[in-house]
Amino acid sequence: MNELVIHSRQGSVGVITINNPPVNALSPGVPQGILEGVDKYGADDEVRAIVIIGGGRTFIAGADIKEFGKITSGEKKRGPGLHTVIYGLEGSSKPTIAAIHGTAFGGGLETSMGCHYRVALVSAKVGQPEVKLGIIPGAQGTQRLPRLAGVEKALEMCALGAPISATAAHELGIVDRIIDGGGYDDLLAGAVAFAEEVGASAGPLPKVSERNGKLGTPQENAPIFAAARAMVAKKRRGYFAPLKNIEAVEASTTLPFDEGVKREAELFQECLFSSQSKALIHAFFGERAVRKIPDVPKDTLVKKIASAAVIGAGTMGGGIAMNYANVGIPVIIKETSQEALDRGMNTIRKNYERSVKRGRFTQEFMDQRMALITPQTSYDGFESADIVVEAVFEEMGLKKKIFAEIDKVAKADAVLASNTSTLNIDEIAAATTRPEQVIGHHFFSPANVMRLLEIVRGEKTSKEIVATSMALARTIGKVGVLVGNCHGFVGNRMFGPYRREAQFLAEEGAAVSEIDRVIYEFGAAMGPLAVGDLAGLDVGWRVRKGNPGLFPEGTRRPLAEDRLVEAGRHGQKTGAGWYRYDENRGRHDDPEVTALLTTIAAEANIEQREIADDEIRDRVILSLVNEGARILEEGFALRSVDIDIIYLNGYGFPPFRGGPMFYADTVGLDKVLARIEEFHAAHGHWWRPAPLLKELVGAGKTFSDWDKERASAG
Ligand code: T1G
């Protein structure tokens, strides 16, 4: 027994409790503590059965992910650890029962499948989410799960990583009994009672490793594996681990158990040392790291948000209101006219109907959510809203007018948030008498779907409002990232150079669809020019028109999109932009655009040439890195990982690349700087290397080193 694993007795039942908060990860010492308990109770004649349970809020949520870095860096070797525990649990002469509440994920589910029986609270979830970390289950999960749940379900659970409910697990045969009650004590009592039952019964103990009944025949399995490979090729394009998961589960149907376990171990190793796994683990911890705001202490007051009000029922306003309703928070939505209000509510209804049709929501859930949204054309009720979110047209004058009005109606301690995507938060706040309560809540379209919430801190924004906004982001299911108040904040400020370089490349002769193909193959959901057509080229045109300072005198200005917009080509919404679109929104190259680009190049004296894929990739992607480094040195982002999380959750940056800053670290900042200097020599002003980049290369450091130093400097 050690402080991580507690051994106790309940009558004739030995109880092994994992005590490693917050999620009972299998950190060093935990497997050993479990094994000691199995050995001890195995040898104790008074003990008839053994229960293994997680202390606190959950069963084992998996291996300790923090240990993986030590293995891939060679700091420590991966031991037999968990395999020994699982064989120990299965080899026990006394029945072993896993009692599951919270989440039995990864090594947690594998540990439970080493047991002879599994019982769970109805609220529990089980799963093999390893693929989300770029790996496969490494402790026999790919060999035991098919034996319990069948090949098809095991394949889905391993290749996609989504958890399932205890009820579904019970129906599949993973869980043997659902324990009534909701709490830990109910679970423990129910598990001990179950243990006494099986402890008293005679007969061989059921070993998962010997249950081959659900493994199917090669004929039955062949179409299942083919369909799974086709599915991940479509849904997980560019990912490495989903295919490795399929290979491992396939081994369970073609090899004897122990051979299958060996094959799983080889595939696990291959994945763990892959750059994709490092990127996905970086993203996992990154999503947790962005929650920490160095100068906002943990005990800062977080206001409870029990009611909300949204101004503007357009695409963004409607989506924002849905976020609140979806978590049961009543929300008022205000528009200037009944007609606009009806249009907005209609869009919301359609969004819910689509989700009901897709089985994401029940009709009952939809009705409950719609009932929480109150459409109106007045400020009635705003005095009781804990938060007011402004989501009107992106024009400073209008926003300031709205905030002056909100200032008069909102309650004293309300959070006053603006969904502006580029405008100066301090200038908006100055339109009120309480700038300390004003903050930016920059949602991404569609706001009810996109996970990112860029939280923009103004000069006077109070720590309470920052802390409340960060907590609220989690409540409404968003990843909240705190950023400073500069033009375009972090995401859009970097997106400018990203799309600028794509335009320049097109003006220099690269084919429109070639530019998008290269970035699509890099892993982005869509290329930069097609994204422009989707968002509407007129949006960027208005920003450029409204901010002439964006392109200082003497600097090269992208010309193509202004010309496209002035030719009425605003993108998908006008049926033409960089591409021509058919009635089904199918995208087609358009020779008119190629001709326009040739004209622009001639007029602007731009030499058109063959441009290689790696130049396209590097100019588009490294423009993000260079601007990201500027944002860091100017202090508008707290850490480089914050930038990565923004791009992974708001801009479709491929997760298996870890984000632009992590990607740069992977390539090597010295190579990145050399490439940027090359572009600077060739293309001038816009490619001036960021001083921080030069500094880090000079010191042989990475962006992640920079984050660590900042964190330790506090
Ligand atoms: N290892 C190390 N730390 C972990 C961890 C883990 N498995 N899971 C969570 N943490 C930390 C997390 O970083 C945070 O730290 C704190 O715990 C609370 O987490 C052998 C190889 C369980 C659903 O992939 O999905 O098993 O920020 O904020 O929202 O085959 O955590 O406070 O310092 O996320 O309530 C497989 C990962 C591992 C599950 C709880 N398991 N975890 O969510 O809390 S690989 C997973 C989660 C494996 C085997 C293989 C979630 C959660 P900090 P949190 P939460």
Give dist(CA 615, CA 620) in Å, integer.
Answer: 8
Regarding the beta carbon of 516 and ligand 1, being less than 6 Å apart is answered: no
The residues, ordered by sequence, that sit 6+ positions from 587 with a Cβ below 8 Å of its Cβ are: 530, 533, 579, 580, 581
Give dist(CA 651, CA 495) in Å, integer.
Answer: 9
Bridge partners of 51? Answer: 15, 97
Give residue 643's Cα distance to chain centre: 13
Regarding the beta carbon of 452 and ligand 1, being less than 6 Å apart is answered: no
352 Cα to the center of ligand 1, angstroms? 31
140 Cα to the center of ligand 1, angstroms? 19
Whether the CB-CB separation of 130 and 224 falls below 8 Å is answered with: no
CA 108 to ligand 1: nearest atom: 26
3 state SS of 595: helix
Regarding the beta carbon of 631 and ligand 1, being less than 6 Å apart is answered: no
452 Cα to the center of ligand 1, angstroms? 20
Residue in the block written with tokens 């006494």: 196
CA 64 to ligand 1: nearest atom: 1
CA 68 to ligand 1: nearest atom: 21
Give dist(CA 537, CA 570) in Å, integer.
Answer: 5
pLDDT on residue 397: 96
CA 141 to ligand 1: nearest atom: 30
Give the containing element (helix H, strand E) for 680.
Answer: helix 669-683
Determine the residue of 23, 78, 135 to mutate for testing ligand 1's pocket, defined as the one with the most ligand atoms within 8 A of the Cβ atom.
23
Strands (E), 234-380: 308-311, 331-334, 373-376
Amino acid 13 reads V
Regarding the beta carbon of 62 and ligand 1, being less than 6 Å apart is answered: yes
Q: Which two tokens mark 454? A: 């860029």
Q: What strand order describes the sheet that includes 49-54?
A: 5-10, 13-18, 49-54, 96-100, 117-121, 177-179
pLDDT on residue 122: 97
362 Cα to the center of ligand 1, angstroms? 29
Regarding the beta carbon of 488 and ligand 1, being less than 6 Å apart is answered: no
Regarding the beta carbon of 138 and ligand 1, being less than 6 Å apart is answered: yes
Sign of the Cα torsion 253, 254, 260, 263 reads negative
Residue in the block written with tokens 């059921």: 206
Residue nearest to atom 1 of ligand 1 (CA): 64
Residues noted as catalytic:
110, 130
CA 284 to ligand 1: nearest atom: 13
Sign of the Cα torsion 708, 710, 713, 714 reads negative
Regarding the beta carbon of 22 and ligand 1, being less than 6 Å apart is answered: yes
3 state SS of 106: coil
Regarding the beta carbon of 105 and ligand 1, being less than 6 Å apart is answered: yes
Whether the CB-CB separation of 657 and 524 falls below 8 Å is answered with: no
450 Cα to the center of ligand 1, angstroms? 22
479-483/452-456 β-pairing: parallel
540 Cα to the center of ligand 1, angstroms? 40
Determine the residue of 30, 58, 65 to mutate for testing ligand 1's pocket, defined as the one with the most ligand atoms within 8 A of the Cβ atom.
65
Regarding the beta carbon of 267 and ligand 1, being less than 6 Å apart is answered: no
The residues, ordered by sequence, that sit 6+ positions from 267 with a Cβ below 8 Å of its Cβ are: 136, 244, 247, 248
pLDDT on residue 546: 81
The residues, ordered by sequence, that sit 6+ positions from 152 with a Cβ below 8 Å of its Cβ are: 224
Regarding the beta carbon of 133 and ligand 1, being less than 6 Å apart is answered: yes
pLDDT tens sequence across 327-352: 999 999 999 999 999 999 999 999 99
Cβ neighbours around 64 below 10 Å, total: 17
Residue nearest to atom 41 of ligand 1 (CA): 62
Number of alpha helices (DSSP H) and beta strands (DSSP E) in the chain? 30, 19
> Which spans in 523-659 are helix H?
528-535, 537-546, 560-566, 591-603, 613-633, 640-650
Regarding the beta carbon of 102 and ligand 1, being less than 6 Å apart is answered: no
CA gyration radius, the chain: 28
CA 268 to ligand 1: nearest atom: 21
The residues, ordered by sequence, that sit 6+ positions from 359 with a Cβ below 8 Å of its Cβ are: none
pLDDT on residue 80: 64
Whether the CB-CB separation of 65 and 285 falls below 8 Å is answered with: yes
Q: What is the dihedral of CA 512, 513, 515, 521, to 10 degrees?
A: 170
Regarding the beta carbon of 63 and ligand 1, being less than 6 Å apart is answered: yes
CA 82 to ligand 1: nearest atom: 20
Give dist(CA 248, CA 255) in Å, integer.
Answer: 10
Whether the CB-CB separation of 65 and 106 falls below 8 Å is answered with: no
Whether the CB-CB separation of 333 and 375 falls below 8 Å is answered with: yes
CA 110 to ligand 1: nearest atom: 30
Whether the CB-CB separation of 633 and 690 falls below 8 Å is answered with: yes
Mean pLDDT per block of 10 residues along the chain (714 residues) reads 90 97 96 96 96 97 95 76 95 97 98 98 98 98 98 98 98 97 94 95 92 97 98 95 98 98 97 97 98 96 97 96 97 97 96 91 94 98 98 95 98 97 96 98 96 98 98 98 97 96 98 98 96 92 82 91 96 96 94 97 97 98 98 98 98 98 98 98 97 98 96 82
The terminus-to-terminus CA distance of the chain in angstroms comes to 37
Amino acid 497 reads P
Regarding the beta carbon of 106 and ligand 1, being less than 6 Å apart is answered: yes
Q: Is 213 exposed, middle or buried (0-12, 13-18, 19+ CB in 10 A)?
A: exposed
Give dist(CA 5, CA 22) in Å, integer.
Answer: 14
Residues in the chain: 714
66 Cα to the center of ligand 1, angstroms? 9
23 Cα to the center of ligand 1, angstroms? 6
Nearest Cα residue to 128 out of 104, 99, 148, 147 = 104
pLDDT tens sequence across 351-410: 999 999 988 889 999 999 999 999 999 999 999 999 999 999 999 999 999 999 999 999
pLDDT on residue 169: 98
Residue nearest to atom 27 of ligand 1 (CA): 288
Residue nearest to atom 15 of ligand 1 (CA): 288
Residue nearest to atom 43 of ligand 1 (CA): 23
- Distances from the Cα of 32 to the Cαs of 4, 55, 85, 335, 376, in angstroms? 10, 17, 8, 62, 62
Give dist(CA 297, CA 633) in Å, integer.
Answer: 23
Regarding the beta carbon of 152 and ligand 1, being less than 6 Å apart is answered: no
580-581/479-483 β-pairing: unpaired
CA 132 to ligand 1: nearest atom: 24
Give dist(CA 509, CA 279) in Å, integer.
Answer: 33
62 Cα to the center of ligand 1, angstroms? 7
Give dist(CA 692, CA 667) in Å, integer.
Answer: 17
Regarding the beta carbon of 287 and ligand 1, being less than 6 Å apart is answered: no
Nearest Cα residue to 366 out of 384, 354, 374 = 354
Q: How many CA atoms lie within 13 A of 393 on its CB side?
A: 7
> Which spans in 523-586 are helix H?
528-535, 537-546, 560-566
194 Cα to the center of ligand 1, angstroms? 29
Burial 327-344 (b: 16+ CB within 10 A, else e): eebbbbbbbeeeeebeeb
Burial 375-385 (b: 16+ CB within 10 A, else e): bbeebeebeeb
Regarding the beta carbon of 141 and ligand 1, being less than 6 Å apart is answered: yes
